[in-house]
Amino acid sequence: MKVARLHSVGDVRISNEADPTVSDGETLLQIASVGLCGSDLHRFGEGVLGLETLQRPLVLGHEFSGVVASGPRRGQLVAADPAHTCGRCEMCVIGNHNLCLHSTFAGAATQDGALRELVSWPTELLYPLPDHFSAADGAMLEPLSVALGALDFARLRTGSSVAIVGGGPIGLFLVQLTRAAGASQVVVAEPLPHRREAALRFGADVVLDPVGLDDQAIRAATGGHGADASFEVAGTRQSMDIALRAARPGARVVVVGIPSDDEMTFSASLARTRGLTLYMQFRTRATFERVISLAQRRIVDVSSMVTAHYPLHKTSDAFASANMRAGLKIVVDPTSDA
């Protein structure tokens, strides 16, 4: 099979490798579509993600769908949950599977991901997709799961106002989810004009350029008192500052973005005097069936999020485009030559 493997910073090489072996409890997939995530971009561009450094040549890609390649389900299009948890540790037992003490994750640490033609993956982590779903739709379910997890943390009430700082795919999914959850005012801060335009298409009421954004403009956009829930989805010091300043006293601030240098600072006095509650999100928990339902009922538009497709041999070009923040979501189709 053909594989796109990251050897060092910016160095993705296409090679031929042996097909994966299929163990008990696993299913062989022909990979159809892989979304490039912000965490993939950190690994590609910096060789590091938080405390994790590139230890060996690694296959990236954790947002993926594929076609079952053998067995009674052969030919079925499925989406994959990239997190394989133990189900037995304390975190798993209490329902925090995203914090499993023994988990492995596609495209992270020593677990190769999906930027290859074939993958053997735990059958229990594969979710059949409705007939009208495309492969790219299936790959979008993992980032949609992240956005849904952030919404769960916010405990949004109907009629609440929302601030979303960052208009990438997860931020844009949050626009749709918060609107569907009954938000009365959705405000997005995003520096790129094409993503501000996308936020309006997906349902935002107000879009702001964060460059030079002052408190007066933030207050005006959020009705004068601040947002009832605020989401940081960009991973920069500025985005964190705006997310806090946009929050009303007593609000919840959900931090989703991943900073490049693993450092994020904020004004302690601002957070303290407003009595803000900060939630740090890490991966997802038990959301795949929910996001499939949301996408199937078209409450959330996943198809419009994908703006470019690349074949596997153009993976480096796909990363370069994603690094430039071109379009919205870039996907690689490993078994397509188009």
Virtual CA dihedral for 291, 293, 299, 300, nearest 10 degrees? 30
* Domains along the chain with CATH numbers: 2-140+302-333 (3.90.180.10), 146-280 (3.40.50.720)
What pLDDT sits at residue 336?
Answer: 76
Instruction: Divide the 338 residues of the chain into consecutive groups of 10 and give the mean pLDDT of each group.
Output: 95 96 95 96 88 89 96 93 94 93 92 97 96 96 97 95 97 98 97 98 97 87 91 95 96 94 90 95 90 97 97 96 94 83
What pLDDT sits at residue 338?
Answer: 52
Q: Assign 23 to helix, strand or coil.
A: coil
**Rounded to whole angstroms, how far apart are CA atoms 165 and 158?**
20
In order of 25, 151, 152, 262, the CA distances from 192 in angstroms are 44, 23, 27, 23
* Non-local CB neighbours of 94 within 8 Å, separated by 6+ positions: none
Which contiguous run of DSSP H or E holds residue 28? strand 26-35
Map tokens 């919404």 to a residue.
Answer: 151
- Tokens, residue 214: 């002052």
DSSP for 181-246, please give it: TT-SEEEEE-S-HHHHHHHHHTT-SEEE--TT--HHHHHHHTTTS-EEEEEE-S-SHHHHHHHHHH
